[in-house]
């Protein structure tokens, strides 16, 4: 069940879907420029299309965590069903810092990222020797432990009711004050961190490390025979994606000024995986595309019909049936033909 279909049914020979485009040619320069221009101008065109700034911020946050997860899922071949745990730890870490310790938003983010990222780094080694569905299930198990703690530790986390009573504060950049409470300012604040996350993923993928990840996805056995410490590489991918998930979670807590146990639940982990698969998990921008579709469709459809879940379900089904490599994978395939 790794990203490369090694399950026995694949050998039946039906898997004639076009091989995913090689990762090193993505992101091609032109799409990247278009995407960045679009992202930079969101607060100006999104309201014209009936959106609102916080929706853009939410897309960025889900896109960020999905891109981080995709480093593990799409490029290294590790199906994690527990990344919500690191996302949620980032959220709680930041929320608790702001509530009890500091009024500095950057410091709170830093602590959130370290808490969530370290948790992924510490627990990563437990997972790396497993593959496929076993990998998925052990990541769920670890994630559910954290979920359990967040629900049970009432006095600190607020239990089922979630953590309230903190809010993002203005940031003083040497006399120039960022009014983060303003939705548009917070959008650009989030975009800044999104860019950092993108840069990290991009440079990893274009380093020898990234090539090793892809090689692991394609043929783990061969690399093992070559004497590579596969586990260490998967661990590194796990840790990096955990840090990015924690960063996204931290921003999510600031967006809502709230942290909830549902931020750590496996259901949210499942949503992250779905976003990756929907957008195209072999591509760099696929997860962002998946996040755009998932977040915007949910937001828009649930305002106009009670049966919005049917429409989202239909999107999933159609995407699987007609876009064999995710939406972006499909378009990229077209381009290169």
Partner 1 sequence: MELLLFNIFNGLIIGMFYALMALGLSLILGLNGIINFSHGAFLALGGYIAYSLTPVIGFWGALIVSPFAVGLIGLLAERVLIRPLYGRDPLFSLLLTFGLAMIMQDLIRTFWGATGLPFTIPDTLSHPLSQVYFFVTGYRVFLVVLSLFATASLFALLRFTRVGVRIRAGNADLETVSALGINIYRLRAINFAVGILFAGLAGVLAAGRLGLTPTMGASLLMPSFVAIIVGGVGSLLGSMLGGIIIGVAAGIVTTYYPAASDVVIYLIMAVVLVVRPRGLLGQEGLLE
Partner 2 sequence: MSILDDIHISRRTLLKSGAALGATSLMYPAMSAFAKSESPIKIGLIDPQTGTYAGTGGNEILGAQFAVDEINRKGGVMSRPIQLLIEDSAASVGQSVQKAHKLVNRNKVHFLMGAVSSAVALALAQAAEQMNTLYMDTGGHADAVTGTQCRWNTFRTCSTTWLLTAGDFQTIFDKYGKNWYFITPDYAFGHSLHTDYVAQLKKAGGKELGNALAPLGTTDFSSYLIKAKSANPDALLVLTSGNDQINTLKQATQFGLNKDMGIGGPMMEMEVLEGLPDAARYGYWNMEWYWNQPNTPHVMDFVDRYKKAHNNKVPTARSWFGYASVYALALATEQAKSLDTMKVVKALEGLELPPEIALQPHKTFYRASDHQLIGSEFPGQVKTGGVYPDLFEVADIVDASKIARSAEQKGCSISYPS
User: What does the binding site for partner 2 look like in residue numbers (CB under 8 A)?
Assistant: 47, 50-55, 58, 151, 154, 158-162, 164-165, 167, 181, 183, 252, 256-258, 260, 262-263, 298-299, 302-303, 306, 308-309
The alpha carbon torsion through 234, 270, 60, 21 (nearest 10 deg) reads 60
> Smallest distance, Å, CB 139 to partner 2?
21
Residue 316: CB minimum distance to partner 2, A: 16
Q: 3-state class of 262 per DSSP?
A: helix
Is 10 a binding residue for partner 1 by CB under 8 A? The answer is: yes
Binding to partner 1, residues 61-120 (CB under 8 A):
79
Q: Transcribe 178-223 into DSSP letters.
A: E-TTSHHHHHHHHHHHHHHHHHHHHHHHTSHHHHHHHHHHH-HHHH
- Residues composing the chain: 337
DSSP string, 292-314: HHHHHHHHHHHHH-TTHHHHHHH
**Which residue from 28, 35, 137, 228 is in contact with partner 1, where contact means CB under 8 A?**
137
The 3-state DSSP class for residue 177 equals: strand
Applying CB under 8 A, which part among 21-29, 125-133, 177-185, 225-233 lies near partner 1? 125-133
Cβ distance to partner 1 smaller for residue 31 or 132? 132
Per-residue tokens: 187: 């959008």
Among 51, 110, 130, 302, binds partner 1 (CB under 8 A): 130
Question: Shortest distance, CB of residue 215 to partner 2, whole angstroms?
Answer: 37
Distance CA 15, CA 261 (A): 40
- List the one residue from 277, 289, 291, 292 that touches partner 1 (CB under 8 A): 277
| Residue 274 is a binding residue for partner 1 (CB under 8 A) | yes
Q: DSSP characters for 18-85?
A: PPPPPGGG-S-HHHHHHHHHHHHTHHHHTGGGT--HHHHHHHHHHHHHHHHHHHHHTTT----S-HHH
* Residue among 141, 240, 139 at smallest CA distance from 232: 240
Site membership for partner 1, residue 6 (CB under 8 A): yes
Residue 119: name the closest of 158, 91, 154 by CA. 91
Q: Does 266 sit near partner 1 (CB under 8 A)? A: yes
Least CB distance from residue 92 to partner 2, whole Å?
Answer: 13
Closest by CA position to 284, among listed 40, 59, 20, 6: 20
Sequence-separated (6 or more) residues with CB below 8 Å from residue 92: 112, 115, 150, 157, 163, 253, 259, 263
Q: Which does residue 263 touch among partner 1, partner 2, none (CB within 5 to 8 A, set by kind)?
A: partner 2
Residues 79 and 137 sit within 8 Å (Cβ to Cβ): no
Quick one: what does residue 273 bind among partner 1, partner 2, none, with the CB cut-off 5 to 8 Å set by partner type? Answer: partner 1
Q: How far is the CB of 26 from partner 1 (least distance, A)?
A: 19
Q: Segment contacting partner 1 (CB under 8 A): 113-121, 132-140, 200-208, 252-260?
A: 132-140
Candidates 103, 152, 179, 206; binder of partner 1 (CB under 8 A) is: 152
Query: In the complex, which residues of this chain contact partner 1 (CB under 8 A)?
Result: 1-15, 17, 79, 126, 129-134, 137-138, 140-142, 144-145, 147-148, 152, 266, 270, 273-274, 277-278, 281, 307, 309-310, 312-317, 319-321, 324
């Amino acid at each position: 069940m790794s990203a490369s279909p090694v399950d026995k049914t694949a050998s039946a020979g039906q898997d004639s879907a076009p091989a995913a485009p090689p990762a090193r040619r993505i992101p091609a320069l032109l799409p990247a420029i278009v995407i960045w221009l679009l992202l930079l101008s969101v607060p100006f065109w999104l309201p014209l299309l009936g959106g609102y700034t916080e929706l853009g911020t939410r897309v960025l946050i889900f896109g960020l965590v999905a891109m981080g997860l995709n480093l593990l899922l799409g490029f290294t071949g590790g199906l994690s069903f527990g990344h919500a745990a690191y996302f949620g730890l980032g959220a709680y870490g930041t929320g608790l810092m702001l509530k009890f310790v500091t009024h500095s938003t950057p410091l709170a983010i830093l602590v959130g990222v370290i808490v969530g990222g370290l948790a992924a780094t510490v627990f990563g080694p437990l997972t790396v020797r497993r593959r496929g569905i076993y990998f998925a299930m052990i990541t769920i198990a670890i994630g559910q432990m954290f979920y359990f703690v967040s629900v049970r530790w009432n006095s600190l986390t607020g239990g089922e009711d979630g953590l309230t009573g903190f809010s993002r504060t203005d940031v003083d950049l040497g006399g120039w004050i960022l009014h983060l409470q303003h939705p548009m300012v917070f959008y650009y604040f989030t975009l800044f961190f999104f860019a950092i996350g993108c840069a990290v993923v991009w440079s990893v993928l274009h380093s020898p490390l990234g090539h090793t990840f892809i090689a692991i996805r394609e043929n783990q056995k061969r690399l093992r025979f070559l004497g590579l410490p596969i586990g260490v590489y998967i661990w590194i991918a796990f840790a990096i994606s955990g840090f990015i998930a924690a960063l996204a979670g931290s921003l999510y807590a600031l967006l809502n000024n709230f942290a909830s146990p549902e931020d750590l639940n496996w259901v949210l982990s499942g949503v992250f995986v779905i976003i990756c698969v929907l957008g195209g998990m072999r591509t760099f921008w696929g997860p962002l595309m998946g996040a755009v579709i998932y977040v915007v469709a949910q937001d828009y459809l649930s305002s106009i019909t009670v049966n919005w879940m049917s429409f989202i379900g239909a999107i999933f089904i159609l995407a699987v049936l007609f876009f064999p490599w995710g939406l972006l994978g499909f378009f990229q395939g077209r381009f290169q033909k």
